[in-house]
Chains A and B, each alone.
Chain A
Amino acid sequence: MREMIISELTQAMQELTKGFAHILPRIIVLVIIGFVGWVVAYFLKVFLRSILRLIKFDKLSENAGASQLLTKAALPSATELLSRFAFWMAWVGFILLGVSVLGILGLQEQIAKFFLFLPRLFVALCTMFVGLLGASFFSRAALLAAVNANLPSPRLLSVSIRTIIIIFVLSMVFEEVGVAEQTMLVAFGIAFGALMLGLAIAFGMGGRDLAQRFLERRFVRGKKEENEDELSPL
């Protein structure tokens, strides 16, 4: 009986040692990959930060209106945020690569999914940034054009354009990352349709005179515009 217990214990110890000896090199590999990953991610962060500073990315972000959002959310500058994002993405990627070496069942599939998701996340972030930049540019262009043409409510026009573009961009972003695709599509359709219908009704009901004046000014020739400056700038 005693011998049997000792034998079982010895076998268990041997298996444990064998298992440990089997996993230890993998853990060491995980640590090494993690360390190398950290170094690579750190240099990537520094490199990306320098590039972004060189191309004055913060200025672009400011123009796009993204900086204001970041400040309100007490987040660092766009350059810093993007550099840190790249750092964590790279490091987490390396760590996951190391974890896959451990050979834990089921985990490898999830890791593969994560790596497949990364390009989509990157595209979504780029879409959002370019979208915000576009929304800011076009709303400002509309505002300036409306002010210089002396149109009524220029700021309303500008905000409407900005809102439409942002809604459109957000629906694209959500579709890209695959979050509530159908819901977002339907919500966008409803919001956009409602906006257009609202504008059409508002213009039809309240802007009849404006539309008439506009069409007269545009197409009835020979009728001198009352509001002319009558000054030649050049």
Chain B
Amino acid sequence: MADESFLTDDFLRQLINVGEVDILVGVPTHNNAKTVGAIVETIQAGILKFFPRERAAIINADGGSRDGTPELVVSAAIDDAQRSSRLYTLRTLHSISTQYASSPARGTALRTILAAAELLRAKACVVISPESTQITTDWLTTLLRPIYKEEFDLVLPTYSRHRFDGILLTNLLYPMTRALYGLEIREPYALEFAFSGRLGSQFLAQNAWHDETARAGSETQFTLTAIAGGYRICQSFLGTKEHVERRSADLVPAMRQTVGALFSSLEPNFSLWNTRTGSQPIPTTGSEREFNLEPLRVNRKRLREMFSTGVAELESVFQAILYPSTLAELQRIARLEEVRFRYSAELWVKTVYEFAAAYHRSVISRDHVIQALAPLFRGRVFTFLVENRNGSAADVEGNIEGLCLEFERMKPYLLEIWNGRE
């Protein structure tokens, strides 16, 4: 049984009033008043349409919204959904909102949802992002049915995306997770996913919630826990994921959430990944991935400049992390003109593996290791953009597949440097 002391008395009282449920939908929010109402209505309609006989609850874990988000979740009346869909539930559908903190923290939000799922003994749970405005009622069945009917433990999404979106996933997270753990999981970091009650309970009990790094990367850790625990994992295609414009400042937090979590998982799971070779596809419903090829204005020049500045300014940091030959090669390409610049897949994989080993050996603060990777990643992004500028969907897919194979081919290199070379 997990520790529920962090849940408020009022929230616990509401959960006790609900009793037990079959399906739980978790919606972590923070100032999402613009979108959350419509999303909750779609969720309700989805439950009415596909799970009318199941006991269900929507749990909103809010990180101190000041725009009335929790009120919108609670007030989203089931009657409206019933009227618009002309479907009726045979059970009560509960909507509960709780404020877990005065500032947003995705890890704590997930912990709150997991604790609620455990207390309500939910058989199947799904987490929906409040920013997913493209949600349809089908998402509920696409994500939940494999858990509820086919006894899978984790359902991760696949999307139709712009070819340059999710670039950290395509250039690092997916290929490295695949190479190390041997499973072809396209979205190891997902904002929409479904899981079984037993996986949720294990993660709730196992994750180091008091550790800032573990909390920050809890979504990625969740996937990695499922892999390490040998749980049944599948993927379901959800449709189009909208392009969201990001600022360059978003990259480091994104790397902490994903790359930090992946690197920190390598130590406890060493015996699992050091023997695996190659990779296997996992059961997938619908398309594995589709690419949108619309043109997109990207400031490539700035990416390359930030790479070159990073290599020059962070030399002392890289000396502690990278091997001299790798650093010398990076310094060489940093001096090249834009037209001749190319951060090859081999050099990128070598760089990432050396960073992973440095993270393991804690050559400097682990958070600094992750931060130091950001400027180098920008260099790799530049090359990826140039290589796929005029490419078709198949070309982009081929490029990503090539990178994955490079990560798999060079896995022995990671094992060689894992504890440092003599």
Contact between chains at A229 and B189 (CB < 8 Å):
no
Contact between chains at B167 and A232 (CB < 8 Å):
yes
Contacts of B310 in A (CB 8 A): 147-148
Contacts of A146 in B (CB 8 A): 313
A190 to chain B, nearest CB (A): 30
Does A233 make an interface contact (CB < 8 A)? Answer: yes
Does B374 make an interface contact (CB < 8 A)? Answer: yes
CA distance A144 to B374 in the complex (A): 9
- Interface locus among A37-45, A124-132, A149-157, A206-214: A149-157
Does B243 make an interface contact (CB < 8 A)? Answer: yes
Does A234 make an interface contact (CB < 8 A)? Answer: yes
User: In chain A, what residue has the closest Cβ to B241?
Assistant: A232
Contact between chains at A232 and B314 (CB < 8 Å):
no
Does A5 make an interface contact (CB < 8 A)? Answer: no
Chain B interface secondary structure, helix, strand, loop or mixed? Answer: helix
Contact between chains at A230 and B245 (CB < 8 Å):
yes
Contact between chains at B245 and A232 (CB < 8 Å):
yes
Contact between chains at A140 and B364 (CB < 8 Å):
yes
Does A21 make an interface contact (CB < 8 A)? Answer: no
List A102-143 residues whose CB lies under 8 Å from chain B: 137, 140-141, 143
Contact between chains at A144 and B368 (CB < 8 Å):
yes
Contacts of B302 in A (CB 8 A): 150, 227, 229
A155 to chain B, nearest CB (A): 5
Contact with B along A37-75 (1 / 0, CB 8 A): 000000000000000000000010001000000000000
Which one of A144, A147, A155 has the greatest number of beta carbons of chain B within 10 Å? A144
A35 to chain B, nearest CB (A): 42
CA distance A229 to B165 in the complex (A): 11
Contact between chains at B375 and A230 (CB < 8 Å):
no
Contacts of B248 in A (CB 8 A): 148, 150, 227-229
Contacts of A149 in B (CB 8 A): 249
CA distance A180 to B161 in the complex (A): 67
Of A63, A144, A225, A230, which contacts B314 at CB under 8 A?
A: A144
Contact between chains at A147 and B309 (CB < 8 Å):
yes
Contacts of A147 in B (CB 8 A): 306, 309-310, 313-314, 375
Contact between chains at A150 and B168 (CB < 8 Å):
no
Q: How many residues of B contact A (CB 8 A)?
A: 43
Contact between chains at A228 and B313 (CB < 8 Å):
no
Does A231 make an interface contact (CB < 8 A)? Answer: yes
Of A141, A225, A234, which contacts B166 at CB under 8 A?
A: A234
Contact between chains at B246 and A229 (CB < 8 Å):
yes
Contacts of B247 in A (CB 8 A): 225, 228-229
Contacts of A233 in B (CB 8 A): 166-169, 246, 250-251, 254-255
User: In chain B, what residue has the closest Cβ to A65?
Assistant: B316
Does B317 make an interface contact (CB < 8 A)? Answer: yes
Does B365 make an interface contact (CB < 8 A)? Answer: yes
List B207-258 residues whose CB lies under 8 Å from chain A: 243-252, 254-255, 257-258
List B282-301 residues whose CB lies under 8 Å from chain A: 296-299
Contact between chains at B297 and A231 (CB < 8 Å):
no
CA distance A229 to B300 in the complex (A): 8
Contacts of A230 in B (CB 8 A): 245-246, 296-299
Contact between chains at B309 and A231 (CB < 8 Å):
no
Does B164 make an interface contact (CB < 8 A)? Answer: yes
Contact between chains at B375 and A148 (CB < 8 Å):
yes
Contact between chains at A150 and B166 (CB < 8 Å):
no
Contacts of A63 in B (CB 8 A): 364-365
Contacts of A145 in B (CB 8 A): 371
Contact with B along A217-229 (1 / 0, CB 8 A): 0000000010111
Does B15 make an interface contact (CB < 8 A)? Answer: no
Contact with B along A150-172 (1 / 0, CB 8 A): 10001100000000000000000
Of B189, B298, B371, B372, which contacts A231 at CB under 8 A?
A: B298
CA distance A231 to B243 in the complex (A): 8
Contact between chains at A229 and B243 (CB < 8 Å):
no
Does B303 make an interface contact (CB < 8 A)? Answer: yes
Contacts of A234 in B (CB 8 A): 166, 168-169, 189, 254, 257-258
Contact between chains at B317 and A150 (CB < 8 Å):
no
CA distance A145 to B371 in the complex (A): 8
A143-B314, A154-B313, A233-B246 known; A228-B299 Cβ under 8 A: yes
Contact between chains at B254 and A148 (CB < 8 Å):
no
Contacts of A154 in B (CB 8 A): 309, 313
List A2-44 residues whose CB lies under 8 Å from chain B: none
User: In chain A, what residue has the closest Cβ to B248?
Assistant: A229
Contacts of B165 in A (CB 8 A): 231-232
CA distance A228 to B244 in the complex (A): 12
Contact between chains at B314 and A150 (CB < 8 Å):
no
**Ranked 7 nearest A-B pairs via Cβ:** A233-B168, A144-B371, A233-B254, A232-B165, A229-B248, A232-B244, A154-B313
A sample of 29 cross-chain residue pairs with beta-carbon separation below 8 angstroms, ordered by A number, consists of A59-B362, A59-B363, A63-B364, A140-B317, A140-B368, A141-B365, A141-B368, A143-B317, A147-B306, A147-B314, A149-B249, A150-B248, A227-B248, A227-B299, A228-B245, A229-B247, A229-B298, A229-B299, A229-B303, A230-B299, A232-B245, A232-B246, A233-B166, A233-B167, A233-B251, A234-B166, A234-B168, A234-B169, A234-B257
A59-B363, A147-B309, A233-B251 known, 9 other contacts, Cβ within 8 Å: A141-B365, A143-B317, A148-B248, A148-B371, A230-B297, A231-B298, A232-B245, A233-B167, A233-B169
